[in-house]
């Protein structure tokens, strides 16, 4: 359910509870409108979980790249949200745009390169966005990316491929800057394990 749909549903529910005449049935119509609100918003073309262990791609069917430790709850939630059938494993040739190391996903004239391995990005020509479960900062210089560090900082991501380019929405962007939203994570500083500096032997103190 969309945010505005949830609001309409809540208003309709309150209306039904407050009125006792036939006017109350207008609230039922509002509630139905709220329930149908997801039909007005197209589902994202690419989803990344908060740890990038799950990456879903809509390309005809819905395909999922799952890594060890991926959340079964998140996978089930995606399946319900996308109203998809079984989530198929992302592999070479499925979808057809996927090779052994990369998937080249194109929709509405926008191309996204999904990195599957660690051997490099390959051809970055015409790519508007790079997506990877690993750090991808250096893979296609000058091209925006969503990678392991992106979800570490801002949580799960949803991506729509539009005629104007990729539209990216993160969990942090949805929740906003509010007191109950955790701040940006701070990288841990690694203290180098260096030996103590050598000290010169001092002469014994002179006696009077």
- Give tens-digit pLDDT for 107-127: 999 999 999 876 566 688 899
The C-alpha angle with vertex 149 and arms to 75 and 173, in degrees rounded to 5, equals 70
In a domain, 190, yes or no: no
Q: Is residue 208 part of a domain?
A: no
Close Cβ partners of 153 (under 8 Å, ≥ 6 residues apart):
172, 184, 185
Region of 109 please: left (phi>0), alpha (psi -120 to 50) or beta.
left
Residue 64 in domain: yes
Say if residue 66 is in the same domain as residue 22: no
In this predicted model, what pLDDT tens digit does every residue of 49-85 receive, in sequence order? 999 999 999 887 888 888 888 888 888 888 877 766 7
pLDDT recorded at residue 195: 62
Structural domain of residue 150, as residue ranges?
A: 46-175
What pLDDT score does 189 carry?
63
- pLDDT number for residue 60: 75
Q: Is position 22 within any domain?
A: yes
- Between CA 85 and CA 62 the distance in angstroms is 8
Residue 20 within a domain: yes
User: Does the pTM exceed 0.85?
Assistant: no
Looking at the 3D structure of the chain, how many domains does it have? 2
Give the separation between CA 81 and CA 199, rounded to whole angstroms: 66
């Amino acid at each position: 359910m969309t945010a505005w749909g949830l609001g309409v549903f809540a208003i309709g529910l309150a209306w039904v509870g407050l009125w006792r005449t036939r006017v109350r049935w207008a609230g039922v119509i509002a509630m139905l409108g709220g329930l149908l609100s997801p039909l007005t918003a197209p589902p994202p073309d690419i989803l990344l979980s908060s740890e990038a262990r799950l990456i879903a791609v809509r390309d005809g069917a819905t395909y999922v790249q799952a890594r060890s430790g991926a959340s079964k709850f998140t996978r089930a939630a995606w399946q319900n949200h996308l109203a998809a059938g079984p989530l198929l494993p992302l592999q070479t040739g499925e979808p057809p745009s996927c090779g052994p190391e990369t998937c080249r996903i194109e929709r509405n004239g926008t191309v996204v390169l999904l990195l599957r391995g660690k051997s490099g990005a390959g051809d970055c020509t015409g790519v508007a966005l790079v997506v990877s479960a690993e750090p991808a900062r250096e893979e296609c210089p000058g091209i925006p990316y969503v990678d392991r560090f992106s979800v570490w900082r801002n949580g799960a991501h949803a991506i729509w491929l539009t005629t104007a380019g990729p539209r990216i929405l993160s969990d942090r962007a949805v929740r906003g800057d509010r007191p109950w939203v955790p701040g940006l994570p701070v990288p841990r500083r690694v203290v180098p394990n260096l030996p103590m500096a050598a000290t010169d032997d001092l002469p014994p103190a002179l006696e009077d």
